[in-house]
Amino acid sequence: MTKKKESSSKQTQKKSLSESLLPVKLLLKSNIFWWILFFVCTFCVSYFLKDSFIKTSQDYFSLKKIEFDGNEQVPEVLLLKASKLHYKDSVLSANISDVKDRLEKISWIKSVAVQRKLPGKISIRIAERTPIAIFQSQHKLHLVDGDGVVLDNDGIGSFNNLPIIAGEGAEKEVFNFLQSIDKFPKIRKQLVFAVRVGKRRWNIRINRGIIVKLPDRGLIQALGILDEISDSNGFFYDDIASLDLRIPDRVIISKKEKTEGEKAQ
């Protein structure tokens, strides 16, 4: 009798244990359980490895090389300072548009193309401005380009063979003026100095110190007349002080005043 009771008790316990484990068995058979387990494991692994991954990523995409091309007048040290790029910063975080805008604020630079080259390089292509004249203003000499931009510089350097211009607004009009002059190579060769007068016309000084007063209209026609009456070295007569071409189809010649010695002769 006692053995039967013990056997019955054991069966009851097994049945109770089986019923209590039923939800676990069902859960193990469910796909949801395995998905939960997968995400938990993934989270744990990523948590412990994240610092190592971030460091590796930062090293891989750190800025190791900044390449400048096309600059002749602007030194790389100035370009690097103006760009505000720093080695070991992330290439991915560099704002390409801001770098371009900052560099184009330098007067010598006309345009900039910035390119990110992964994993760790930024390439910067520079297009510099080309001086076409020396602008005299407030007793100082500055280089000026075809767009009328006055270039920051310490003196005129190797550009001392360029024509000198002066006068209010001269830097804005010099490109068109020199284009007209270039149609007459003989005059262009003789040109030494040009002054913008009243924001509307030019006076030029050519070889032998002769001043030529040009009109505000009909500039090409006036230069044509000047080209006809000059020789390859200037003019036939050394005693000419100025030529006034402001009146169409007319040349007014002013001669130099004679010295006391010349008068005595």
d(CA 131, CA 81): 24
Residues 72 and 166 in one domain: no
Please report, in angstroms and rounded to a whole number, the separation of the first and last CA atoms in the chain.
Answer: 167
Residue 167 lies in domain = 131-264
Q: CATH number of the domain that 102 lies in?
A: 3.10.20.310
Contact predicate 144/132, CB 8 Å: yes
Contact predicate 206/234, CB 8 Å: yes
145, pLDDT greater than 90: yes
Question: For residue 256, what are the contacts with CB-CB under 8 A and spacing of at least 6?
Answer: 239, 240, 241
The answer to whether the bond into 119 is cis (omega within 30° of 0) is yes
72, pLDDT greater than 80: yes
Write out 72-93 in H/E/C secondary structure.
Answer: CCCCHHHHHHHHCCCCCCECCC
φ, ψ of residue 53 to 5 degrees: the values are -65, -45
| Share above pLDDT 90 across residues of the chain, in percent, rounded to a whole number | 55
Residues 135 and 215 in one domain: yes
Residues 235 and 122 in one domain: no
Q: For 152-231, where are the E strands, in sequence order?
A: 164-166, 193-197, 201-205, 211-213
Question: For residue 191, what are the contacts with CB-CB under 8 A and spacing of at least 6?
Answer: 163, 181, 204, 206
The pTM (predicted TM-score) of the whole model is 0.71
Residues in the chain: 265
Residues 200 and 257 in one domain: yes
Residues 136 and 213 in one domain: yes
**Residue 106: CB atoms within 10 Å:** 20
4, pLDDT greater than 50: no
| Mean pLDDT of all residues belonging to the chain | 82
Residues 39 and 123 in one domain: no
232, pLDDT greater than 90: no
Q: CATH number of the domain that 163 lies in?
A: 3.40.50.11690
